[in-house]
Amino acid sequence: MIVVTIAAPAAAQQSEKAELAAYRLTSDKLDRYAAANRSLAQVMKDHKNDPDAAKSENDGDSISGAVRHLDKIAPAAAAIRSAGLTTREYVMTGFAILSSAMVVEFKRNGTIKEYPDTVNKANAEFVEQNYDKIKAIMAILPDASK
C-alpha cells in the first residue's frame, strides 16, 4: 500500500522556512495540487495491497525530506508530475496550505481576530477565500486509503 504523508512545516530548516514564507498560493497551483491529489489517490488505490510499492521511509518533517520521500516512490512522483508539478512544488503547496489553514481555522472560530505577523497573510487570505474548495481537495487522499 502506498501512503503519502506530508508533515506540517514546524521543524523545517531556517532556509526552508524562508522559502515557505515567500511561497504564494495561486488558483493555478491549487488546481494542479488538486489534480495531483486525484492522481495520487488512484495510485494509492492501485497499490493498496502491494507492500513493495512504497518502501521509502519519510525523511523527516522538512520540505526537502518530504520531497526525497515522494521522489523515492516512483508511482507517486509520476502522479504528481502528471498534474504539471514537480514534487517540490507539490510539497510547497501542501505545506503552504497546511500552515495557512491552521490560522484560518483560528480566525473562523473566533480564537483570533486578525492574522498574526508571523503568517503569510496573502496565503491565509487565499485559503480563507477558497476554504471549501481546499477542504474538498484535502479530503481526497484520506478517502483513497479506504
| pLDDT recorded at residue 23 | 96
C-alpha to C-alpha distances, 108 to 25, 46, 77, nearest whole angstrom: 20, 37, 34
| pLDDT recorded at residue 114 | 93
Q: For the chain, what's the residue count?
A: 146
CA 60 to chain centre: 15
| pLDDT recorded at residue 30 | 97
Please tell me the distance from the alpha carbon of residue 33 to that of residue 80, in angstroms, as a whole number.
8
Domain ranges across the chain:
9-144
| pLDDT recorded at residue 144 | 54
Instruction: Give 3-state DSSP helix, strand, coil % of the chain, rounded to 5.
Output: 65, 0, 35
| pLDDT recorded at residue 49 | 67
| pLDDT recorded at residue 44 | 87
Residues of the chain whose pLDDT is less than 50?
1-5, 7-12
Are the beta carbons of 92 and 18 closer than 8 angstroms? Answer: no
| pLDDT recorded at residue 87 | 97
Q: What is the pLDDT of residues 69-107, one digit of tens each?
A: 999 999 999 999 999 999 999 999 999 999 999 999 999
| pLDDT recorded at residue 52 | 55
C-alpha to C-alpha distances, 90 to 1, 23, 48, nearest whole angstrom: 21, 12, 22
| pLDDT recorded at residue 72 | 92
| pLDDT recorded at residue 127 | 96
| pLDDT recorded at residue 58 | 56
Please tell me the distance from the alpha carbon of residue 76 to that of residue 58, in angstroms, as a whole number.
13
| pLDDT recorded at residue 60 | 59
Predicted TM-score (pTM) of the model is: 0.82
